Amino acid sequence: MSKFNAFLNRMLNFIRTDIWRITEKELSQTRRIIYRFIKTLILAVRGFYEEDLIVKASALTFSIVFAIVPLFALITAIAKGFGVEKMIRDSLESILIGQEDLIPAIMGFVERYLQSTQGGLFIGIGLAVLIYSVMNFFMQVESAFNGIWQVKKSRSLIRQFTTYFSSILIIPILIVLSSGLSIFINTAVAQSFLYDVLSPVLRFGVKFAPFFINWLVFTAMYLLIPNTRVRFFNASVAGIVAGTAYQIFQLLYIHGQVYLSRYNVVYGSFAAVPLLLLWLQISCLIVLLGAEISYASQNIQNFEYELDTKNMSTRYKNFLTLFIAYIVIKQFEKQKPPLSSTQIADNYNLPIGIVNQILTKLVEVSILVEVFNDYSKTKIYQPAIDINQLTVNLLFNKLDSHGSELFLSNKNELLDAFWQKTLDIKLRNEENTTQLLIKDI
């Protein structure tokens, strides 16, 4: 038992600390893949709890329930304009697969919603409710994704409106193109002499198609919804994982309807409502977990030396701050191209998370300035002060004095006097220190 406990402690220490001290440059290609997988899994599981994904999934479930009828009504109204209403209705009903008891009711709501139109256009309160419902749903989705990606700023309201409703306009077109292409391929193959040869492949293709479509849809969501740049590889990895999980859940849910029949005894026809909410809740949870995976896989390097960074001494942090400021200043003095945070981290084998944290602080205290490089699409850093005036004391003075001071309301003479003595001591120390320029270190 003692050996088992020791082994368990070693594993926990490895997961919490040791694995984050191993950078990818130290690993072979095979080990790099294995370590990336382990780190991504750890971050995704941790994010699942720290980001309260269950609560966020519940909020999205409410938004979907509120928006499902207006959203379907809008898509159906657009489909009427293209003359493909029947095809679109069939596709929308397939989205609610496993909800056979609710499909007629929902589509009935959609029909009555459309009856309040004139010439296919919603008017008055109906239009306002529709726009609010759809916009609120998409804004909730974007907010959830931005929260996972730690993006503070959402898209502008105008950009949200144009993006969301452009997407809705494209949905019927994609459904028609997909259905038409499927009919064309099936007809062409059926008339071909290769039908007997290709039939096993086609049968496999029919079974595999839902997985492939889910992969594409989920990848597109993780690529486009967050208001930040997401790399295609990371979005596709998360799309494959989440899309597969969603399809498996769909199959289990449909086949599990038989075992959930006891709800019909308790709730009667109302049983479809809690089952729908359960289906939506788990579906939203899978979507958000996929977003967490895409974030974790793209930002693994930000978590290197994470525990050490949190427990870093003030002296060592000051040393790294001075060193990074020195690198940026020397680059400027030698008239070399400014560096990005990634270049600084790679060139000097520093954890990117620490580099980003220090650079952000130096920009906040106006030691450095952040510039967007249109050519490389990255942020680069330059001195914000004349480097012939930028001393070590000036740097640390700005760091020390940044933030709120003298905000306590319970002032007394001893407190005021002690504050003044502290400033005097600091001033005397600075006067006894050579005014050393950072660039001359």
Question: Residue 293 has what pLDDT?
Answer: 92
Domains of the chain with bracketed CATH: 50-302 (no CATH), 312-440 (1.10.10.10)
Question: Residue 87 has what pLDDT?
Answer: 64
Taking the C-alpha atoms of residue 84 and residue 177, their distance in angstroms, rounded to an integer, is 11
Q: Which string of DSSP letters, residue by residue, matches 344-410?
A: HHHHTT--HHHHHHHHHHHHHTTSEEEEEETTTTEEEEEESS-TTT-BHHHHHHHHHH-S--S--SS
User: Closest by alpha carbon to 219, among 238, 196, 203?
Assistant: 238
Please report where in the chains the tokens 């001893």 appear, as a residue. Answer: 414
Question: Residue 189 has what pLDDT?
Answer: 57
What does pLDDT average to in each consecutive run of 10 residues of the chain (441 residues)? Answer: 78 77 75 84 86 87 79 70 62 60 64 59 60 79 86 77 72 60 58 58 66 84 85 91 88 67 57 76 90 88 77 88 92 90 86 86 90 77 90 87 76 78 72 69 72
Taking the C-alpha atoms of residue 226 and residue 289, their distance in angstroms, rounded to an integer, is 14
Sign of dihedral through CA atoms 3, 8, 11, 16? negative
Question: Residue 327 has what pLDDT?
Answer: 93
Question: Residue 85 has what pLDDT?
Answer: 61
* 8 A C-beta contact, residue 228 and residue 153: no
Alpha-helical runs (H) found in 17-123? 29-50, 53-82, 85-95, 103-115
* 8 A C-beta contact, residue 280 and residue 64: yes
245: number of Cβ within 10 Å: 19
Taking the C-alpha atoms of residue 360 and residue 346, their distance in angstroms, rounded to an integer, is 18
Using CB atoms within 10 Å of the CB of residue 425, give its burial: 0 to 12 exposed, 13 to 18 middle, 19+ buried: exposed
193: number of Cβ within 10 Å: 6
Sign of dihedral through CA atoms 324, 359, 385, 333? positive
